[in-house]
Structure 1
């Protein structure tokens, strides 16, 4: 195993002593101890939280080994000195490493180095008293084998329970907040925030339900920050009615009438809508009228509830118990999202219920807000940040959309998010319109909802796939310049749902904003990574939020690397870099020659393939996309030979692709329309990561003592495979200039095209081959018409430009 810790804060000795005192490892009972052996025994006795007698302590201590020949009890009662090896032998066991697997008692320091665990400074082979104190400090801050820091593992056993009700404010250790707030005494309340919009056109400003969880101490004067998750799924979903709206993708691609549109012709401009007057306030209250039993929580938020943070969930307009309608990502939804922040920052009103006009303030809030969440949740965090709303200090955007066109479209084509062919903006709107779940409420809104949903269906324009005003309204890139909150991005390099272009454009779009920006890229698909064993993600977020929301100068902005990327070859390996997908990266250009990618210029050839399959193969691939993917990329399988072009390099040196691969081609279609798809492939027999992380322990990670858990997971290697898709891209041949201008396409006439594949960071091992597959129908993403279209590529002047990483 390898431990990757990026959130350990460098701490001087005096501060270490102070923090050990703050968390009660150094106390009045042990301050006079001068013998390192005695102090080590005392530390262990304190750490064995669940041992309440000397006999049980002896019993537990004797189950640890200090040397190859002595258990810890024998060693500590017979030795006059505390050796460095003995300390780290015990430390490794406290960190739950296995001497039969992870280390030997003869060389614990070698194991510490191999596993990448922190070793305290020491001069000799024996620890002095001060060296022991420092070594214990770093041990507490060190990650164990099962996803916890040692201090968090002690918390899960009840170490901080005696602190409940005694501290009354956040307690810090190594720059991070400790769980000293009783999660079982959390105050739960519901408020209804008045947003500056009337999306359901009832003549009243929309009220939005917000569910709040906050520490009991916030009732006693403690001002706390808020983690806010805007989740349209939070109040329930309409899976059945959403499924009925799914669009048929087994339809032909069609010709589009050319246009000469400019951006100004399709640019979204906010309507000048007259809004209703705000509600008249009848009275004020400090106690909410409504509570709730159990929220649809996010486990990362759960972790912080015991650490002095409030958590707020709101589903937004058009959801159960709120007013309004669903709009899927437009400015109205952004307005709905930031209304909650404005209330938390003291700049908007909320009420105790929807009828009495009794105002309630967020009097417990310190007016600092962070947004958290994955996918649609992270998308709304990104949208909120683009408004520059006051009070939003940071967003942690995980697998977030930055332009809805890049989610449901690509290159002038209707492109499904991976795994959801036929889904579109209208389907998502219906699925999240949870007002439907309350028949009495839905009855009143149904006529308007039917009308608005039909408008979404029409305006999203599945006929052409062009970028239009509908999509421009849902493009957050235009407002990146307004982002003034610090941003921590998390994204999967194999996420074909919210494709990597979404995070790459955010990363590069704010690099000159003057905000702190960080990014973590993992090898997963559309997943959370806060329960991974090999990276201290939760500690990173703890360090980050303690800085951002509590205003603690813990150097989080300097300690956390700007770029952290999980290696795709070595297990449990995360590397830090200074940048990602920089346009100034060096490039390697490959030409096309027959079936080869060559570093020399392309030869002068014309290569062709036809998109039409026999009916049996077509029907099979429609039902089994995985079979199609295997046949498409298989070097030796002839089933797709006539329906693709496949090029490979010779065996290459180790290469890291860093950023956006560009393809330049001269292309012709036998029709007056056409589309091309591309996949970049790593060819070489090797064990590769399984598609999904492996479950290591169900409920293996506890937030703190007797509090919510998460499953411990990790990416593991599967059986050897012959290839791995690195990235892909698509283009409608009639959108050669851009996604809103439609060009004419004369049959059998060659046109130059340029296609930007989804950005990546990928290590190709030495001896592997880089491959490029050019094809048309993508059975997982595009329409599937099985049309008799022949595509031709002129190799002369065609090339592929690969950005490479240089250390």
Structure 2
């Protein structure tokens, strides 16, 4: 309701201008009356409700919690996807649970939608507390996982939680990022915009329309959920205004392989994990298609093409707010890096947060800043609020634990692709890394693959010659060195057997305190206290367990990595057996990062074989020779070659380990994405 002063001034103006012409007061009196009324309006308190695009209320540039969460409308709709994944002769319907404010509906005002489409609403749960959906006796949602509904429904948004096909209350089959997964969410956006049919029941029922929404949708989600947001955006669907993918896949091939090297077991494991009981019974044929389409050879097949969203970045209409843990060993930063680069090439409006955590939601490592930032993002792109967020610095980066910096654009301004060459030393297996000192032709180093070791073992013994690795280091840096983006390492190698895997890792050598991303919380620890974001009901609390940084003092920090199967040196489409002793050249893609190696530290590049626990070993145990004269690293260095200031390698101090190498993570069975 408008304030009394504004209501009175509006009524006075109405009285003046609504008088019949014959009974109006002289024009001088009319002018005076107008001035008095306008003055009253200007001097009156600000209105309690200022509409933005006809939905939500905005004051001081922010949507306000003026609507009741307890009285919100809770309902379910089943949307026809137009597909028949389970082969039962009728098109599949996916369940969408809706929570929306009652007051705009009563006033005929239309609201935008925040959508999280997920396979995890019944099998595994969402968030740090693994929340699942719960329902009342009528089948309407009681607990909606996470805080989106609690916080945003009172601010004039609807939240829509979609069960992917084959999961929870939806028909169809899970196809792990393929057409069925993507159509599950896209069909709901089409329904919200009047282009698809919705029903009141999973079978039968009456048709339901979404007359309560303006059709503007923002998708959000972590891991598989965020992956669906990427995939739906890549369809170019109308009505999707923005996406917020958190630690999300951009190409499913790169979740299961890295340039031919297998990272974990096949996707059929994931589909089996999340499918509902009814889908298990009906989706055997679809499961077999998944198995047949994703052979463990590492070859790129049509199965992977259908799950590659990067190739369709040019279709993206939505803005993108990407969030990524730079030490995420589940959905690795390669996904973010290649997606970001493709979006930038097509001029997509975008923003990014990069943390030092692993696979962690920003709500659990920077909650007080995340929620208001997300609110402003949605306010701008879904409510049309001109709050300037799109003009603010593009990137927030966690530079050290809980210390964040910003950059106008990302990768950082002044970043240049810089060549670093590898040189030998008097000690076999140890070499130099720099812009000069290229090895003479014929200079080689070698290692023997040991799948029982991994990057932490290599890094903890970087200055000690060991059989399973080669290590190349700069001298002690005299100035900070910042690497911003994704690099490559081009290796010319020979193998003593018919198969070989290569690993390349970048290591910051020197003491520092980091987030313990290898710990159980992947950089956070969960506390016993709670903080509240939004409104609660008896069945859905807005209060969540607090967290704090889990830190570790280290003397080395692996901050970027990449892997490859040497047999795929020519093409990902078809790997070949190696000819022992024959040289092959392959470029290993390093995961995107933003890391500062501080003055007093050293930068190391380790080239080795199987990164145990992160990739599966080849079917032989090769000794691999590296031709140093034909091996080079290309790193995105801020300031280029001139920014690398280091003492001569001979002047460096010996690296003393402060901690033993951490045990390698278990690689199979595959960890869940969530």
TM range (shorter): 0.7 to 0.9
Partner residue, 1:736: 569
Contact 1:208 1:322 in 2 (8 A): yes
Contact 1:413 1:465 in 2 (8 A): yes
Distance 1:632 1:512 in 2: 36
The 3-state SS of whatever aligns with 2:363 is coil
Deviates more, 1:329-338 or 1:604-613: 604-613
1:210 correspondence with 2:100: no
Partner residue, 1:118: none
RMSD: 3.1
Task: Kindly report which structure 2 residues correspond to 1:34-433, keeping only aligned pairs within 5 A, or say none.
Answer: 170-220=56-106, 221-236=108-123, 290-416=138-264, 422=265, 424-433=266-275
Partner residue, 1:677: 503
Shift of 1:744: 5.0
Structure (1 or 2) with the greater strand fraction: 2
Contact 1:571 1:716 in 2 (8 A): no
1:565 correspondence with 2:407: no
In structure 2, list runs of 5 or more residues that go unmatched.
8-45, 126-135, 518-522, 644-674
Shift of 1:394: 0.8
Partner residue, 1:592: 423
Shift of 1:355: 3.5
Partner residue, 1:646: 471
Contact 1:298 1:373 in 2 (8 A): no
1:578 correspondence with 2:373: no
Distance 1:679 1:227 in 2: 39
The 3-state SS of whatever aligns with 1:646 is strand
Distance 2:253 2:621 in 1: 28
Partner residue, 2:444: 606
Shift of 1:533: 4.4
Distance 1:432 1:570 in 2: 34
Deviates more, 1:484-493 or 1:681-690: 681-690
The 3-state SS of whatever aligns with 2:237 is coil
User: Structure 1 pair 512/662, CA: closer, same or farther in 2 (3 Å)?
Assistant: closer
The 3-state SS of whatever aligns with 1:796 is helix
User: Structure 1 pair 733/531, CA: closer, same or farther in 2 (3 Å)?
Assistant: closer
User: Structure 1 pair 788/23, CA: closer, same or farther in 2 (3 Å)?
Assistant: farther
Contact 1:588 1:804 in 2 (8 A): no
Distance 1:571 1:372 in 2: 24
The 3-state SS of whatever aligns with 2:438 is coil
Distance 2:412 2:303 in 1: 29
Task: Kindly report which structure 2 residues correspond to 1:381-780, keeping only aligned pairs within 5 A, or say none.
Answer: 381-416=229-264, 422=265, 424-434=266-276, 436=277, 441=278, 446=281, 448-462=282-296, 464-533=297-366, 536-558=369-391, 560-567=392-399, 569=400, 571-580=402-411, 585-594=416-425, 595=430, 596-604=432-440, 605-612=443-450, 618=452, 628-635=454-461, 641-652=466-477, 653-691=479-517, 692-695=523-526, 698-704=529-535, 708-715=542-549, 717-718=551-552, 720-743=553-576, 745-780=578-613
Contact 1:686 1:722 in 2 (8 A): yes
Shift of 1:762: 0.5
Distance 2:112 2:602 in 1: 51
Deviations 1:331-385 (A, max 9, x none): 2221122001111112211111134341111121121111011100000011111
User: Structure 1 pair 759/300, CA: closer, same or farther in 2 (3 Å)?
Assistant: same
Partner residue, 2:35: none
Deviations 1:301-322 (A, max 9, x none): 4321221111111112112322
The 3-state SS of whatever aligns with 2:155 is coil
The 3-state SS of whatever aligns with 1:303 is helix
The 3-state SS of whatever aligns with 1:681 is strand
Shift of 1:551: 1.9
Distance 2:241 2:380 in 1: 10
Distance 2:597 2:159 in 1: 42
Partner residue, 1:74: none
**What count of residue pairs does the alignment treat as equivalent?**
572
Deviates more, 1:502-511 or 1:691-700: 691-700
Contact 1:300 1:538 in 2 (8 A): no
Deviations 1:214-234 (A, max 9, x none): 112143023111111100111
Q: Using structure 1 for the length normalisation, give the TM-score.
A: 0.66
